[in-house]
């Protein structure tokens, strides 16, 4: 089968087309023919070995000390069940699904096997394969941080830093779904996209500093790794929580956290979705409450160009790879 592989860390050009063996499902596995996948910040980090401050050595230990341990990138997919193992009962051949192998990667290819009890859910009928492929990473991260780590409640005032990215665009819609009032922070060219997905208010960070403008928020979700409690303290309401999707090593250790007497919190850590989370994201999408924003679609063979797009830092929403021309979605 065709797959995009890399054998050394570096710029987008290290990713190249190759022929690799097509996997066969085990007794409790399904084989998915992939119609669409994505290039996310997780792929960028694994490919370039660009880590948050303090995580450099850990990155090599995780991804491979002397070279990539997993040569095929891609954390999420959408496609069709091609075949099933003899003990599989949850899925049938021909079913349309989306899935999240996450840190196991392997989605930048024509096929992938997954355990039937893994992170797989049925694709919402109203989404293209490209849109469904982009549900898991951004939606799962946003859901875990807002609902589970942040304890979002109806009526909360939520500010999202990086509201036009893959996680940010999902977070705007998920926060609205939970009944919050949402302010999105982004750059001038991206503000219309943030408005279009439901933000009640937008802030152009090139003109206004949300941290000093005088408004306060119950939750601040930073998807960009550019904030700290010291900077956000005045923008947090009493009892407010700062949620760090891309925390530095020092922040992960709890350095710079607020005193207990302040009643405010800084919350970091990983956010791995469950299969129930994927089903919820699918239900929200099916109801029209969540629709992944697609910046651009590339063919699988053009994955290096897609990586360069992600590297630029100027994408809106998600960058999709389509396999054999399937899975295309509308652009932002």
Report the run of H or E that residue 242 belongs to, with start and end: strand 236-244
Specify the 3-state DSSP secondary structure of 275.
helix
For domain 138-267, the CATH superfamily is Medium-chain alcohol dehydrogenases, catalytic domain (3.90.180.10)
Q: Would you say 107 and 76 are in contact if contact means Cβ atoms under 8 Å apart?
A: yes
Kindly report, residue by residue over 70-105, the tens digit of the pLDDT: 999 999 999 999 999 999 999 999 999 999 999 999
List the one residue out of 113, 136, 128, 106 whose CA is nearest residue 33: 113
**Exposed / middle / buried, residue 84 (Cβ in 10 Å: 0-12, 13-18, 19+):** buried
Query: Which tokens hold the place of 60?
Result: 């090599």
**Quick check: 190 and 207 in contact, CB under 8 A?**
no
Confidence tier at 251 by pLDDT (50, 70, 90) = confident
Decide the pairing of beta strands 16-19 and 2-5.
antiparallel
Residue 45, sorted as left (phi over 0), alpha (psi -120 to 50) or beta, turns out to be alpha
The structural domains of the chain, with segments of one domain joined by +, span 2-135+292-322, 138-267
Which of 127, 99, 122 has the alpha carbon at shortest distance from 111? 99
* Bridge partner residues of 201 (DSSP): 183
pTM: 0.93
pLDDT at 138: 97
CATH number for the domain formed by residue range(s) 2-135+292-322? 3.90.180.10
Which of helix, strand or coil describes residue 96?
Answer: strand
The rounded radius of gyration (Å) of the Cα atoms in the chain is 20
Q: How many CB atoms lie within 10 A of CB 250?
A: 13
Task: Read off the pLDDT of residues 170-213 as tens digits, 9 standing for 90 and up.
Answer: 999 999 999 999 999 999 999 999 999 999 999 999 999 999 99
Among 256, 159, 266, 269, which residue's Cα sits nearest to residue 214?
A: 159
Domains 2-135+292-322 and 138-267 share a fold: yes
d(CA 200, CA 204): 14
CA distances (Å), origin 73, targets 41, 87, 105, 122, 251:
11, 28, 5, 22, 28
- Contact predicate 119/136, CB 8 Å: yes
Non-local CB neighbours of 208 within 8 Å, separated by 6+ positions: none
In the numeric block, the tokens 């780590």 are attached to 149
pLDDT of residue 56: 72
Lowest mean pLDDT among 119-123, 166-170, 310-314: 310-314
Classify residue 277 as exposed, middle or buried by CB count within 10 Å of its CB (0-12, 13-18, 19+).
buried
Residue 327 confidence (pLDDT): 60
- What confidence score (pLDDT) does residue 63 get? 86
How many Å apart are CA 191 and CA 206, to the nearest integer?
11
SS3 180: coil
| Residues paired with 184 in a beta bridge | 160, 202
pLDDT at 59: 73
Phi, psi of 164 (to 5 degrees): -100, 0
Structure tokens at 190: 């991206």
For residues 46 and 103, the answer to whether their CB atoms sit within 8 Å is no
Q: For residue range 279-302, list pLDDT tens digits in order.
A: 999 999 999 999 999 999 999 999
The DSSP bridge pattern shows strands 265-267 and 236-244 to be: parallel
DSSP for 60-90 reads HHHH-SSS-SS-B--S-EEEEEEEE-TT--S
């Amino acid at each position: 089968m065709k797959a995009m592989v890399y054998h050394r860390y570096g710029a987008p050009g290290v990713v190249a087309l190759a022929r690799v063996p097509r996997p066969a499902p085990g007794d409790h596995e399904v084989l998915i023919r992939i119609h669409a996948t994505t290039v996310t910040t997780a792929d960028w980090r694994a490919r370039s070995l660009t880590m948050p401050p303090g995580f450099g050595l850990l990155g090599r230990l995780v991804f491979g000390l002397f070279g990539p341990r997993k040569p095929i990138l891609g954390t999420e997919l959408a496609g069709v069940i091609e075949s099933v193992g003899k003990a599989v009962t949850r899925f049938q051949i021909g079913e349309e699904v989306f899935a999240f192998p996450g840190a196991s990667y392997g989605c930048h290819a024509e096929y992938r096997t997954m355990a039937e009890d893994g992170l797989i859910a049925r694709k919402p009928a109203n989404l293209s394969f490209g849109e469904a492929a982009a549900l898991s990473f951004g939606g799962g991260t946003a859901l875990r941080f807002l609902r589970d780590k942040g304890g979002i409640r109806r009526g909360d005032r939520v500010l999202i830093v990086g509201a036009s990215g893959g996680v940010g665009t999902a977070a705007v819609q998920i926060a609205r779904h939970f009944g919050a009032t949402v302010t999105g922070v982004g750059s001038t060219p991206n503000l219309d996209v943030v408005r279009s997905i439901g933000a009640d208010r937008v802030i152009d960070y090139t003109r206004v500093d949300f941290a000093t403008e005088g408004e306060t928020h119950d939750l601040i979700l930073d998807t960009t790794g550019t904030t700290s409690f010291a900077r956000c303290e005045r923008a947090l309401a009493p009892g407010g929580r700062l949620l760090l999707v891309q925390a530095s090593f020092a922040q992960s250790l709890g350095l710079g956290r607020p005193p207990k007497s302040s009643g405010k919190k800084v919350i970091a850590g990983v956010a791995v979705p469950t299969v129930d989370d994927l089903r919820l994201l699918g239900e929200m999408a099916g109801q029209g409450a969540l629709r992944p924003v697609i910046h651009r679609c590339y063919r699988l063979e053009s994955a290096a160009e897609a990586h360069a797009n992600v590297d630029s830092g100027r994408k809106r929403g998600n960058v999709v790879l389509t396999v054999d021309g399937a899975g295309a979605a509308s652009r932002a």
